Amino acid sequence: MALIVQKYGGSSVADTDSIKRVAKRIVETKNAGNDVAVVVSAMGDTTDDLIDQAMSIDSNPPAREMDMLMTAGERISMSLLAMAIHAEGSHAYSFTGSQAGFMTDARFGAAHIKAVKPDRVRRALGKGSVAIVAGFQGINEGGDATTLGRGGSDTSAVALAVALGADVCEIYTDVDGVFTADPRIVPTARRIESIGYEEMLEMSSCGSKVLALRCVEYAQRFNMPLHVRSSFSHRRGTVIVPNQVDPRSLPNLE
């Protein structure tokens, strides 16, 4: 039995049909004998819509209130996903970033994770349930909600995987892994089957949008294997592993 952390981005949970599809995939992974924790982003363009609404009210909104607002999107998707898993005949608990133990500094809008204490997530997994965590958010020492900035859900997923001692962190997106170029722009782009942290960091720093730079740095620091794949297919994606790890040894490759 493996412990797998899966992260689903906004395009993967863009609407209720997408959420139902993701729930089926999570339940399939669980029924294959794995423990599954999930980190989820806000649905589709929810975050951008919230920003637009805030700016229509105040062109210079208080940073604390913006972070309070920004956490709403992930709370919607995490609870709907838990309901969809229930409808599939399984069970899930949803947790906000603070409930999942994500402690951050006090930098609103671009907070850094200081510690992850996922006690409630562990208890949910121990009951045989799926644990769903709202990505991109945490809580500071003063008890205020904070957000991690763009790409923060990727970082949340890796940090949770490290804290739980997971076997792999799967990052689900709308493409089949990491490519030599953006396949939506360059039709001849090739999928990379396996890549090291250093090479992935270089691609991220040069503008690759598949993984956030901080996410890769976090994974490298703790040697957490990553598997970047599409939520719209069951094909193997791109595996990012430490040099001493055989990519073929990771669970749930197919």
14-46 per-position pLDDT tens digit: 999 999 999 999 999 999 999 999 999 999 999
Comparing 173 with 118, which gets the higher pLDDT?
A: 118
pLDDT score recorded for residue 207: 65
- Whole-prediction pTM value? 0.95
Region 3-249: CATH code:
3.40.1160.10
Encode pLDDT of 196-253 as tens digits. 999 999 887 776 677 888 899 999 999 999 999 999 998 999 999 988 788 888 888 8
Domains of the chain, residue spans:
3-249
What are the pLDDT digits (tens) for 121-140? Answer: 999 999 999 999 999 999 99
Output the DSSP codes for the chain: --EEEEEE-GGGGSSHHHHHHHHHHHHHHHHTT-EEEEEE--STTHHHHHHHHHHHH-SS--HHHHHHHHHHHHHHHHHHHHHHHHHTT--EEEE-TTTTTEEE-S-TTS--EEEE--HHHHHHHHTT-EEEEESSEEE-TTS-EEE--TTHHHHHHHHHHHHHT-SEEEEEESSSS-BSS-TTT-TT--B-SEE-HHHHHHHHHTT--SS-HHHHHHHHHHT--EEEEETT--S--EEE--TTS-GGGSS---
pLDDT tens-place string over residues 240-254: 998 878 888 888 887
pLDDT at position 26, please? Answer: 98
List the single range of 91-105, 159-173, 182-196, 197-211 with lowest mean pLDDT: 197-211
Average pLDDT of the chain to the nearest whole number:
94
How many residues are present in the chain?
254
